[in-house]
Structure 1
Amino acid sequence: MKVLYFAWLRERLNRASDEVSPPPEVVTLADLVAWLRARDEALDLAMANPAIFKLSRDARIVSWDTPIDGASEVAILPPMTGG
């Protein structure tokens, strides 16, 4: 599964994506984010307030409790400002 990072999150991590194979106990997007944060200190720090982020599963914005089963791509979308 590919995990995409956008906007300032991508800049802070210094990468646009990761290719991951989560373990079987990672069932929902919330589980996936928790698992990713536990493995990556930079991501954990950048997502200190996870409630501000939107998640996308296969190019569709979905809730954090959405199952990851069958997903090919997940995106983590930080809040954006215009101007």
Structure 2
Amino acid sequence: MIKLQTKVKVLCFAGLGEAIGKCVEIPVDSEISVSELRERLISTYPEHERSIRSCMIAVNHEYVTQETAIKTGDQIALIPPVSGG
């Protein structure tokens, strides 16, 4: 049986988007969890580990937990913490 690898698109906002790109594609073999996606992003962009770890992740416009499954076609967004006054 041949496994086809696919890619998920991740939208990146604020400084992280400027650093690694506003939309990056991460290869995946099958359905993965948010936690696994975060680790793949860190392994792809190790110099931005701190920023990636501090981001909230949204799937299909809703914040999710680390265990949430990501499926092909889901819209994923990395949203950095916001500060203001």
TM-score band, normalised by the shorter chain? 0.7 to 0.9
**1:6-37 deviation per Cα after TM superposition (whole angstroms, max 9, x unaligned):** 11111222x1001333123x620110111122
Count of residues in correspondence between the two structures: 77
Higher strand share: 2
Counterpart-to-counterpart distance in 2, 1:33 and 1:71: 17
Once superposed, which parts of structure 1, at least 4 consecutive aligned residues long, lie more than 3 Å away?
Answer: none
Give 5+ residue unaligned stretches, structure 1: none
TM-score by length of 1: 0.75
1:38 aligns with 2:40: no
Larger radius of gyration: 2
CA RMSD of aligned residues (A): 2.0
Give 5+ residue unaligned stretches, structure 2: 1-7
| Identity within the alignment, % | 23
Counterpart-to-counterpart distance in 2, 1:21 and 1:6: 20
